[in-house]
Structure 1
């Protein structure tokens, strides 16, 4: 069974709480998120979400991951599957690491496992990684605009 790991990170000039409030507000994803176009559900451990991703110009993909970890201000992690376990599984992780009261490092990663991973490795490395980077930049912009608004 093949596996592949993608990791991206960005520094954001906002508090961990501000970044979490943007990341966990699924209802607003369509307004700002260029990668995860839609997220329905609650960021609560054990919950099943409905996610639509669209990296770049690719066709939208829908899946229903289960939230594995939800620690406000620190971590959100879910596991999504294509078809059945072992075909194409992705454990998606968002980590908010507090650097100061007004600065965090945001890390987005995913570990892919399954029989299809080898066939999709180039697409994952190209399109999916670019989608992570685009989302990171958009999360930074939205979180920082909230931070500025609260300090004005």
Structure 2
């Protein structure tokens, strides 16, 4: 297993960060990493996500939503071609500090036989994509 984990402190309450994070229709306007997220977002549903790590053309995934807990957590599991080849469990967590600030934790757990071969691109491009999205989310939230 391989995990990528990033976090950022946002000067806004968790419910406001959640509003921006889950306003998926606006992703093309501000999100440099997840350029779209389509579908009915509820536990058990399939969605469609296009991720574009810096320096790549991007990939479209059709993951299954595992958890969608308002103001707290959004999690899905996607596969490349078939389960066990390259699986990614993507997680957004919001930690409400009860003082008007929120920490966004964005992480992904990767499993499958291709993970060792893709480790370098995960460490560079994918992590950079997480960080770019986090920074832009912070900027959008704090400019409201």
Structure 1 unmatched runs, 5+: 147-152
Q: Which residue is 2:127 aligned to? A: 129
SS in 2 for 1:14: coil
> What number of residue pairs does the alignment pair up?
144
Matching of residues 111-126 of structure 1 within 5 Å: 111-126=109-124
Match of 1:54 among 52, 59, 63: 52
Structure 2 unmatched runs, 5+: none
Matching of residues 24-35 of structure 1 within 5 Å: 24-35=22-33
How big is the shift at 1:101?
3.9
SS in 1 for 2:143: helix
Q: Which residue is 1:150 aligned to? A: none
For residues 15 and 71 of structure 2, the distance between their equivalents in structure 1, rounded to whole angstroms, comes to 5
For residues 60 and 7 of structure 1, the distance between their equivalents in structure 2, rounded to whole angstroms, comes to 20
1:63 aligns with 2:61: yes
Q: Is the 8 A contact 1:43 1:76 kept in 2?
A: no
How big is the shift at 1:144?
1.3
- Give the superposed CA RMSD: 0.8
For residues 43 and 105 of structure 1, the distance between their equivalents in structure 2, rounded to whole angstroms, comes to 22
Q: Which residue is 1:149 aligned to? A: none
Match of 1:87 among 85, 88, 97: 85
TM-score (normalised: structure 2): 0.97
TM-score (normalised: structure 1): 0.92
Q: Which residue is 2:21 aligned to? A: 23
1:5 aligns with 2:3: yes
